[in-house]
Amino acid sequence: MIAYCGIDCAQCEGYLATQANDQKQIAAVAQKWSVQFKANVLPEHVLCDGCKATGRKSYHCAHLCEIKKCCVSKKIQSCIVCDDFPCEHESFIINNVPNAKENLQSV
């Protein structure tokens, strides 16, 4: 469940709420992310089955994630195998998400 960037999808609040099919929890995550990211995050934007999994993707992962777009276009499984690693996008993740680099190294 390690995303292209190294985030562990199985630990993501959106993923956990989606898998629990808990509408109150999904709404709470949407509200939290709206404040955290200063954006209008709707409950349907939270729904996600994991970055690399078949199924639903959060709005960010499906439409906005530059790391995912890059990895898919280069046909690589994670950014750690990219010649440009760490790029500016991945550097942000590594600096702000505990264990992201370790997760990438374990894949």
User: Which pLDDT tens digit goes with each residue over 37-80?
Assistant: 999 999 999 999 999 999 999 999 999 999 999 999 999 999 99
The CA–CA distances, whole Å, from 67 to 25, 52, 55, 77, 80 equal: 27, 12, 19, 11, 11
Whether residue 67 lies inside any domain: the answer is yes
> For residue 97, what is the enclosing H or E element?
none
Q: Is the pLDDT of residue 11 over 90?
A: yes
Contact between 51 and 9 (Cβ < 8 Å): yes
Count how many domains the chain has: 1
**pTM for the whole structure:** 0.86
pLDDT class for 92, splitting at 50, 70, 90? confident
Domain that holds residue 43: 9-106
Whether residue 4 lies inside any domain: the answer is no
Whether residue 98 lies inside any domain: the answer is yes
User: Rounded distance, CA 91 to CA 66, Å?
Assistant: 12
Whether residue 1 lies inside any domain: the answer is no
Cβ contacts of residue 12 below 8 Å, gap of 6+? 48
